[in-house]
Amino acid sequence: MEGQKDPSRRSNLLQLQNEIRLAFGWSLESDVGVAKWLIDEVMKKGYPNWSFDKFDSNWFNVKSELLSRSECVCIVGAAVEEYEVEKALEKGCSLIIADGSAGVFSELEDPTNGWNQTIAIVTDGDGGRGLDEAIERNVPLFIHAHGDNRMALESLISKLGDHPISLTHQTPHEILGMRNPGGFTDGDRAACIAISMGVELSRIDLLGTRSDMVGKYSGVTNPERKMKKLAWMKRILEDLGFVGIK
């Protein structure tokens, strides 16, 4: 886990991923399989920006941008409201968007303001229109592989061309060209990424991050299972040190 200076935090995040697999009946083999498929799939495209060196460069470009700023870093989750984003933009915060949550920008008086302060999108491929617009605007993507999202990733990759990307997985193994920063859902993984890059917890604000409701920008297929996922999201964020999550 790149940047995780606290060994106990790294161990806790890996253990939580194992517990989550057990809780949902998912297999480590499936997570590994899709992760290895993803790196193979993007490498064979042959795009100049899709290479091991470029994946590292894209990661460190985002890291440098986050660490070069003194303002807050806001993780924008699926239950975000327009007023939360407006306040963050007024304060000059950098935004990391959880998948399709960028859809909130369409509610702003000037959506361009939101995009101008967006540093990256964290996605497992099901972000809908918000993700599509991020692709159109060439916003860097952190693309995540897990055991049951191969079809979503196939669709996403077909839209990207030579887009700036970094790849993440959720296994305890080292996979060349990919990283495991910790996390489970796009929102808590975004927080894990920021922290792994060295962003202090005190600089990070969580917008639209709730475990008591499914946000309107969430890609929901099974509401009951989604609520269980959000409970795990809350546990991960609390383990990282965040408080006051509903």
Helix (H) or strand (E) holding 17: helix 7-24
Look at the chain and report how many structural domains it folds into.
1
Residue 2 located in a structural domain: no
Residue 223: predicted pLDDT: 78
Cα separation, 90 vs 28, in Å, equals 43
DSSP code of residue 3: T
User: What phi and psi values does residue 91 have, to the nearest 5 degrees?
Assistant: -85, -5
CB-based contacts of 49, cutoff 8 Å, min separation 6: 58, 162, 163, 164, 165
**Interatomic CA distance for residues 98 and 121, integer angstroms:** 6
Q: Is position 196 within any domain?
A: yes
Is 227 a member of any domain? yes
Note whether residue 49 is domain-resident.
Answer: yes
Determine the pLDDT at residue 220. Answer: 61
- The total number of residues shown for the chain amounts to 246
Task: Quote the domain boundaries for residue 146.
Answer: 7-240
pLDDT per position in the chain (246 positions), as tens?
A: 344 456 677 788 999 999 999 999 999 999 999 999 999 999 999 899 999 999 999 999 999 999 998 889 999 999 999 999 999 999 999 999 999 899 999 999 899 999 999 999 999 998 788 889 999 999 999 999 999 999 999 999 999 989 999 999 999 999 999 999 999 999 999 999 999 999 999 999 999 998 888 888 876 667 788 899 999 999 999 999 999 888
DSSP result, 126-190: --HHHHHHHHHTT--EEEE--TT-HHHHHHHHHHHSS--EEEE--SSS--TTEE----SSHHHHH
- CA angle (104 as vertex; 196, 95 as ends), nearest 5: 25
- Say whether 61 sits in a helix, a strand or coil: helix
Structural domain contains residue 1: no
pLDDT for the residue numbered 6: 66
Is residue 246 situated within a structural domain?
no
> Residue 188 and residue 183: Cα distance in Å, rounded?
5
